Amino acid sequence: MFVKYDKPNTGSLCFSASYNEFPYNGSDSTPSPKYLNLEVCEAENVREISQYALTNWLGKPSGVPDLLMMTKPIWSTWAKFTGHINQSIVIEYAKEIVAHNFSNSQLEIDAGWAQCYVDWQFDTKKFPDPAKMVKELKDLGFRTTIWLNAFVSPNCIDVYNDGIV
């Protein structure tokens, strides 16, 4: 791997790596180099760099943010249960919030809902009917989100093996 300035005096860098060793090549064919182009930015403050990112990469929002999410609490199962949750615990938690007359915008089902990190499948022993649970939460006045993890655990054999092949 090497680093070089792709465009002198512009602040752009080019990182290059030749993927010619297991597990990167994936075949006996001659690998071709892969390139990742990065732009290094500097600004006086967070607002300036945010404006730059919006203008040059991300684009400006097309609408108004959901005011409910800005003005009402987002409840999370992590705050009370960490990862020790199941369908009945989630429903009881929502009922407890409602019983105390707390406002809400949504309830996030945090770690513990999936069989394994990143397989993104409900653990059917802990959550036998996720669709029914979401309907019950909606009936209680909650929108529902789930926490997604971008990391892969080696304990998630199928997903882990997909990543190294």
pLDDT tens, residue by residue, 89-136: 999 999 999 999 999 989 999 988 988 777 778 999 999 999 999 999
Contact partners, residue 42, CB within 8 Å, separation at least 6: 11, 49
Domain match, 75 and 17 both: no
Domain match, 90 and 120 both: yes
Residue 159 lies in a domain: no
User: Structurally, how many domains does the chain consist of?
Assistant: 2
Q: Note if the pTM is more than 0.95.
A: no
How far is Cα 145 from Cα 137, in angstroms, rounded to an integer? Answer: 11
> Considering only CA atoms, which of 120, 121, 118, 96 is closest in space to residue 107?
96
Domain match, 50 and 77 both: no
Domain match, 111 and 142 both: yes
Note every long-range contact of 155-164, with CB atoms under 8 Å and residues 24 or more positions apart, other chains counting. 155/116, 155/117, 156/116, 156/117, 156/118, 156/119, 158/119, 159/116, 159/118, 159/119, 164/23
Q: What's the pLDDT at 163?
A: 60
Domain match, 131 and 74 both: yes
Residues spanned by the domain of 128? 67-146
* Residue 35, strand partner residues: 16
Residue 151 lies in a domain: no
Domain match, 45 and 71 both: no
> Considering only CA atoms, which of 95, 88, 137 is closest in space to residue 113?
88
Residue 89 lies in a domain: yes
Higher pLDDT, 152 or 76: 76
Domain match, 49 and 98 both: no
Residue 13 lies in a domain: yes
Helical spans, DSSP H, in the chain: 46-53, 67-71, 77-81, 87-99, 130-139, 157-164
Domain match, 82 and 137 both: yes
Question: Do 103 and 72 form a contact (C-beta atoms < 8 A)?
Answer: yes
Domain match, 51 and 74 both: no
Q: What's the pLDDT at 145?
A: 94
